Structure 1
């Protein structure tokens, strides 16, 4: 099909760039090595969206999962800047419902979660903040590439 392209017959003739392009990430673990014991001990938060089509109310984003129970709360948001307000109302709601205190909130490094205002609120309320590794597609663990 291509004229002038040499035929590669030996594996040692493969260039480093070709091999680097063929590297694959290790599969995500089926089960995490660490799991919390109590509800609200660790809550994962992430914004998903923008979804299309939007809801009838114009909502485009949603978030939040509890690590212990794997219970999911759906907080519908119109825009990303509503995330800190949604976390405040979420915290008040779940603490009232469960009688437990939110201990750790783990999020990605998105601007909606790393703002000074959001950090100050968590510090005042005694909620520990965990931020995931940059550019990590999974929140519950860092996955390494094979050597």
Structure 2
């Protein structure tokens, strides 16, 4: 998973960050939109719980960069309590976390293209990114 932002234009709901989560096996992608980096632990924990219940599968590994939004006490405690191994890579090295970094680029480029060709207003970027993610899945 990776956090992209802050974006220059807030979405219609005041969001400025995109949290991109990619399944390593199927390459299925989830996007969550956040107002600030502080929301990351709550959103990640809720999404992991939701995935484990809805898919009836256990998450065993989480790979993120070494950013402060992913390395904190709340997430570390949750990972330890559930038995998830947190793989941390070096910050700002897309070579080590290439799957999600490429997906970030693909989603943002698709969203830009859709905004340009539809001549939509810029504050609709979150809806366009969600549509691009849905289309790519």
**Same fold judged by TM-score > 0.5?**
yes
Q: Displaced runs of 4+ in structure 1, greater than 6 A?
A: none
- When normalised by structure 1's length, the TM-score is 0.62
**Per-residue deviation, residues 81-139 of structure 1 (Å, max 9, x unmatched):** 11100111111111122110111010000001111221111111111100012431231
Alpha-carbon displacement from aligned partner over 1:2-41 (angstroms, at most 9, x marks no partner): xxxxxxxxxxxxxxxxxxxxxxxxxxxxxxxxxxxxxxxx
Name the one with the larger strand percent. Answer: 2
- Secondary structure of the residue aligned to 1:47 is strand
Q: 2:67–2:91: 8 Å Cα contact kept in structure 1?
A: no
| Structure with greater Cα Rg | 1
Question: What is the TM-score of this pair, normalised by structure 2?
Answer: 0.66
- Aligned partner of 1:72 in structure 2 is 29
Alignment of 1:40-59 (within 5 A): 45-59=1-15
The answer to which structure has the higher helix fraction is: 2
Question: Where in structure 1 are there 5+ consecutive unaligned residues?
Answer: 1-44, 142-147
The CA RMSD over aligned residues, in Å, is: 1.5
**Cα displacement (A) at 1:71:** 0.7
